[in-house]
Amino acid sequence: MIKYFIFVMLSILLSFPLFAQEQLSKNFDSPTELAIKSDCLYRSYIYDQTSGNDLELPKCYRMHPGASSWFSFLVPDDGKATVKLQFDGDTFFGLAFYVVEDGEYHEIKCDVFRDIEASLCLYPEEQYQNRELLVRFWKLGVADTGNVNICISGEDVPSFPKALSVNVNIYSPQQLVTEVLITGCLTASNITFAGNTQQIGYFSNAIPGLDFAEGVILSTGNVMDAPGPNTSGSTGTNMYGSGDANLNSIIYGTTQDAAVL
């Protein structure tokens, strides 16, 4: 009886490592390889973001702790993929997608979330079919360790039947005022623009919810982010520009990336 008990205990101990959680890679050049499934099937992973080998800060780098976790997967033939992360409680975290082109890493999109569960989607129109996609995950704030549930699936992503069209090249800021904003017998003078040239543009084919079909678009980020597809309210691009003194006085703080026409 004692020998049988010892045998059972040894069997349990020897089999335990087969069910141990996998730790996500801390190095962007050797990501943990995951597989995309037809449905979302969560699997638990350990992350350690106290150190690591990172790329440059993502565009939505707010409160980046200095290190990230990395995993990758192969985009399917239809070009659709949804990466979901799930935590035990509300968590402030970020996700970014990258591809390698000509030996260099290029950021496709980036977003931050504060929730128990959130996702970042890849769309067929973005044309990354059969490409390896690198995914960056980081917990905002202080470098930390913990557990995260991840699923990568080919579930249907939201469709956008009407896409906003944005162009930053066909009009100068002055022309945007005189040829787009001003109509009829009205005139404008002393037209100036302060900001990055990617923060102002012309839009057309307006999506439902706007009361006009065309106009001028201003952004604290890149106006080319506006057509999307954007699945959250925090999509954007850091332009590394100065803020506006009037806004600073209102919020009793410091603003960034002002676009003033």
What pLDDT does residue 178 have? 82
Q: In angstroms, rounded to a whole number, what is the distance separating the alpha carbons of residues 210 and 206?
A: 6
8 A C-beta contact, residue 71 and residue 23: no
- Tens-binned pLDDT, residue by residue, of the chain (261 aa): 544 444 444 444 444 444 468 999 999 999 999 999 999 999 999 999 999 999 988 877 767 888 999 999 999 999 999 999 999 998 989 899 999 988 899 988 888 888 899 888 888 878 899 999 999 999 988 888 999 999 999 876 665 445 667 777 878 888 888 877 886 677 888 888 888 888 888 877 665 555 566 778 888 888 777 777 665 556 777 778 888 888 888 877 788 888 888
Q: Find, among 252, 254, 176, the residue nearest to 216 by Cα.
A: 176
8 A C-beta contact, residue 52 and residue 27: yes
Q: In angstroms, rounded to a whole number, what is the distance separating the alpha carbons of residues 181 and 219?
A: 17
What pLDDT does residue 245 have? 85
Q: What is the SS3 assignment for 148?
A: strand
- In this prediction the pTM is 0.60
The number of angstroms, rounded, from the C-alpha of 124 to the middle of its chain's C-alpha atoms is 17
Q: In angstroms, rounded to a whole number, what is the distance separating the alpha carbons of residues 104 and 71?
A: 17
What pLDDT does residue 130 have? 95
Q: In angstroms, rounded to a whole number, what is the distance separating the alpha carbons of residues 231 and 122?
A: 10
Q: In angstroms, rounded to a whole number, what is the distance separating the alpha carbons of residues 239 and 222?
A: 7
Q: In angstroms, rounded to a whole number, what is the distance separating the alpha carbons of residues 24 and 5?
A: 36
Q: What is the largest CA-CA distance in the chain?
A: 101
What type of residue sits at position 129?
Answer: Q
Q: In angstroms, rounded to a whole number, what is the distance separating the alpha carbons of residues 42 and 103?
A: 32
Q: In angstroms, rounded to a whole number, what is the distance separating the alpha carbons of residues 140 and 86?
A: 15
Domains of the chain: 21-153 (2.60.120.380), 165-251 (no CATH)
Tokens of 137: 């995950």
Buried-exposed string 2-16: b where 16+ CB fall within 10 A, e elsewhere: eeeeeeeeeeeeeee
> Which 8-state DSSP code applies to residue 226?
T
